[in-house]
Structure 1
Amino acid sequence: MPKVKWLQSKFNGNDKYDAFPLLEVLRIYELEALEDWFEAGVAAEDGCLFPCLINLMLENCPKLKELPSLPPKLKNLEIEGIRWTTLNFCSNSNPIPLETLWVCDCPNITSLPLADEIARLAALRSLKITNCPNLISLGRYREMDITNNSSLILDYLCISHPSVLQMEPLKSIASLKKLSISDNDEVVSFPNEAEQWFLKVRSSLSQLGFIYLASLESLPSFLESLSSLQSLHIDVVPMLRELPNLPPSLKSLTIWGKCHPELKERYGEDGGSDRHKIAHVPHIHID
């Protein structure tokens, strides 16, 4: 296989490199030996690293070193199977245009400094943090951020463990439309602290999903208080036997994939003993 020259660059008026000056979308995947972004001596500072990049996807490149900073126009970042320990945002004080941040299957990640940069992350709308077992912090939430009314306003959030909801800035989230809790084999039930968090978003949360939760035995009873909830999706939650009371606002209930036989018996359309408890939901699908 012929070698591909991977560096596209030009000198600007200040004799600095612009690396990949026109590139907008970059996906790097399954390069298990890749370590460095550039050859030694190639400048990648002061906004010259991928100056026009909008979408960056990194998958299963375990040796790849961390970016020195995010590209200045980056809107969508997805990393999966990367062994970084944290994530470096831009070092300047400009707003960070990031709209989507997905971090999945990154066992070495211990911190994502979202709270540190909350004032500059006003564009962030989609956040996914799954299968990062060593994550202990989303940054430090300062009092000045609260007084400046800087808080996350997300459309979509996906997490693996409810404990992440107790980390700032998620703990003080202002608004959320869609939440998925997925890919966890350990969670059996939801802690009491989760109720206060859900009550904060009850007027904005419209879609909720519990997906691939192998040990979950019960859904939180406070679901009934989510006054804006319209869609509830349960997918591969095999230990769940019973549903809590569901809010009057609910329009769609889907129970999909492998589920406990008792759940089907109790809520099934044909003579289920608890079918009347979900009769107010217009659209019900139990697979």
Structure 2
Amino acid sequence: MKFPENSYISSIYGIGKLKSLSELYIFNLRDVSGYRIGELKNMTDLYKLGINRLENVKDGEEARNAQLCEKRRLTDLTLCWSDIHIDSTNKYLDENVLDNLHPPKCLRKLKIERYMGARSAIWMNNVNWIFNLEEIVLSDCSEWETLPSFGHLPFLKLLELYDMPKVKWLESKFNGNDRYRAFPLLEKLYIGRLEALEDWFEAGVTAEEGCLFPCLIQLYLVDCSKLKELPSLPPKLKSLEIRSTGWKTLNFCSNSNPIPLESLEVFDCPNIISLPLADEIARLAALRSLTIRYCPNLISLGRYRQVEDTNNCQLMLNDLHINDPSVLLMEPLRSIASLKRLIIVHNDEVVSFPNELEQWFLTVTSSLSYLIIYKLKSLQCLPSTFESFSSLQYLQLFDVPMLRELPNLPPALKRLEIEGCHRELKERYGEDGGSDRHKIAHIPDIFIR
């Protein structure tokens, strides 16, 4: 947790005497007089409060002395246990303490870090008490098993869950309801390192048709290898990032509406076989940024539907980030003509660009303005078609140790950066008497290191 620079205020002895204080970003508890949680009892004007080192609270009764539920202006609350507390085995104490840190109903933002209890606080399971929450962040709570029914919160817009390895599903049963409108206003969902997460719902719970994340704009999933695929992408989703998941494909919406997705990143997903971009190309007019890295079993980006006029349907990508150049030969990337920025990184196998890829580069000569090649350990030569790249302005070559020679570079190139390449290349093009320095003399900014 990052604390503001003025967090030194928490070192004031007997801070509870500052009864009119409205913000206390972080209060570091100590087990000594003047620094215990009871100091908060009469600070009724607080609207923003952070409490750290909650392991120094001896029991639930002492936690109740903070009287959080009486602070009628409190809208932003952070509750933290310290790093050393992670090894604690007294989960029942943590549960008792959290049960008694009951916030008021006006709370809008809640953050909990390093809580070692296995269950949610009692007040968290009563949707009427947390009804007004708009932002929830839970992190490093390694013993927590079952989450509250956050999907019922009518105003929740942001949910972040990190490092909670025992959570198995995102949403559980609530008051016997098996079907409901899930997360009705949620816009941003970030889930990271929930290794046991298997499904979006507990068995027997189902969202109403088309009503799972109806307002979701950003979805970020990292290290959730067991998580099942979504039945369909949320209808308003603009940004999707999946890393280290077990997904095999993406399920786009089954209706015929345009797909608003602007950015898609698929990273380190060994089970991914297909990304059906070509299938939905007519509905993916908004897609501008695409990343596909470390997906060794990817064999298809979909197929064009026969009913569509594919001559008028192309991805209008601006940015493409890959580690395997062969994906450039898969439709719809094979026919792309709008690309402005291409990044090829981390590949130890590519020695050169075969003729088919040389031809592919010719399709983007009039649009590509930025090319980065980074950590291609075996690459020995660049595309010979470089001279025809009329729009290329920036070329960066980082850690390409086998590259000894540059092709003729386009006259419009403004910046050339070369770092971590072969000694011979430095000698040929370096500014200290390089024999081929004249070939790149037209470039205004040159950095060869």
Matched, 1:20 2:183: yes
Q: Distance in 2 between matches of 1:199 and 1:45?
A: 48
Deviations 1:112-135 (A, max 9, x none): 000000011010000011111111
Contact conserved, 1:118 with 1:145, CA < 8 A, in 2?
no
The offset of 1:146, in angstroms, is 3.6
Q: Distance in 1 between matches of 2:388 and 2:223?
A: 41
Matched, 1:211 2:374: yes
Letter in 1 for 2:387: E
Which residue, 281, 284, 296 being the options, matches 1:133? Answer: 296
Contact conserved, 2:323 with 2:344, CA < 8 A, in 1?
yes
Q: Distance in 1 between matches of 2:426 and 2:212?
A: 54
3-state secondary structure, aligned to 1:48: strand
Q: Distance in 2 between matches of 1:54 and 1:68?
A: 17
Contact conserved, 1:85 with 1:109, CA < 8 A, in 2?
yes
Residue matched to 1:9:
151
Q: Distance in 1 between matches of 2:363 and 2:356?
A: 12
Residue matched to 2:448:
286
Matched, 1:161 2:303: no
The offset of 1:6, in angstroms, is 4.3
Deviates more, 1:97-106 or 1:260-269: 260-269
Q: Distance in 1 between matches of 2:362 and 2:311?
A: 23
Q: Distance in 2 between matches of 1:194 and 1:45?
A: 46
3-state secondary structure, aligned to 2:326: helix
- Higher relative contact order, structure no. (Cα contacts within 8 Å, ≥ 6 residues apart): 1
Unaligned runs of 5+ in 1: none
Residue matched to 1:177:
340
Residue matched to 2:269:
106
Q: Distance in 1 between matches of 2:388 and 2:148?
A: 54
Matched, 1:201 2:364: yes
Which residue, 409, 412, 421 being the options, matches 1:259? Answer: 421
The offset of 1:42, in angstroms, is 2.1
Deviations 1:135-164 (A, max 9, x none): 110001234434561111111011112211
Contact conserved, 2:179 with 2:205, CA < 8 A, in 1?
no
Aligned pairs for 1:50-61 (under 5 A) are: 50-61=213-224
Shift in alpha-carbon separation, 1:34–1:16, aligned structure 2, 3 A: closer
Q: Distance in 2 between matches of 1:94 and 1:148?
A: 21
Shift in alpha-carbon separation, 1:11–1:247, aligned structure 2, 3 A: closer
Shift in alpha-carbon separation, 1:167–1:20, aligned structure 2, 3 A: same
3-state secondary structure, aligned to 1:284: strand
Letter in 2 for 1:138: L
Matched, 1:277 2:419: no
Shift in alpha-carbon separation, 1:45–1:88, aligned structure 2, 3 A: farther
Q: Distance in 2 between matches of 1:17 and 1:87?
A: 24
The offset of 1:10, in angstroms, is 3.9
Residue matched to 2:241:
78
Q: Distance in 2 between matches of 1:6 and 1:151?
A: 44
Unaligned runs of 5+ in 2: 1-115, 121-146, 155-177
Identity fraction in percent: 70
Aligned pairs for 1:145-156 (under 5 A) are: 145-147=308-310, 149-156=312-319
Matched, 1:33 2:192: no
Contact conserved, 1:8 with 1:21, CA < 8 A, in 2?
no
Q: Distance in 1 between matches of 2:310 and 2:214?
A: 33
Q: Distance in 2 between matches of 1:31 and 1:262?
A: 48
Letter in 2 for 1:187: V
Which residue, 181, 186, 192 being the options, matches 2:355? Answer: 192
Letter in 1 for 2:282: A
Shift in alpha-carbon separation, 1:93–1:45, aligned structure 2, 3 A: farther
Aligned residues: 284
Deviations 1:171-223 (A, max 9, x none): 11131111111121111100101122111111111111111111111111111
